[in-house]
Amino acid sequence: MRRPVGRLGTDLDAWVRRTVAVAGVAAYASYVHQWEFALQGGADAPSAALWPLSVDELLLLATVGVLKPSGGRDRRSRNVVWLAFLLGIAVSLAANIAAAPRLTWQPVRGWLAAACVALVG
């Protein structure tokens, strides 16, 4: 027998579903742009397929480190985590812009990195 879910549980479930959907679309778009960037840079197909995963994994791990309470970590460790996060954002943003078909301002391509900075910063 299922227990009734209170309003908080329902709101949390809806928030998680929306967040996963948005993150999935953003992850796909970021992967494709970074894959194109790697191919344009001369990477072979297997390397180009792994490039976006390395950048996004760096971002994921750094985000966890930034959001984790700093209990027991020294200032140097916190700075390294923030540096990794900012480096990941910079590489992701650069790859998204560089994969654009022409060299013009394209806000859609840079949205993912800008949104991540806005959410965490």
Reading the block at residue 5, the tokens are 């879910």
pTM of the entire structure? 0.60
% residues pLDDT > 70 (the chain): 74
DSSP 70: -
pLDDT over threshold 60, residue 66: yes
Reading the block at residue 21, the tokens are 């959907």
pLDDT over threshold 70, residue 9: no
pLDDT over threshold 60, residue 16: yes
Distance of alpha carbon 115 from alpha carbon 121, whole angstroms: 10
User: Cβ(88)–Cβ(55) under 8 Å?
Assistant: yes
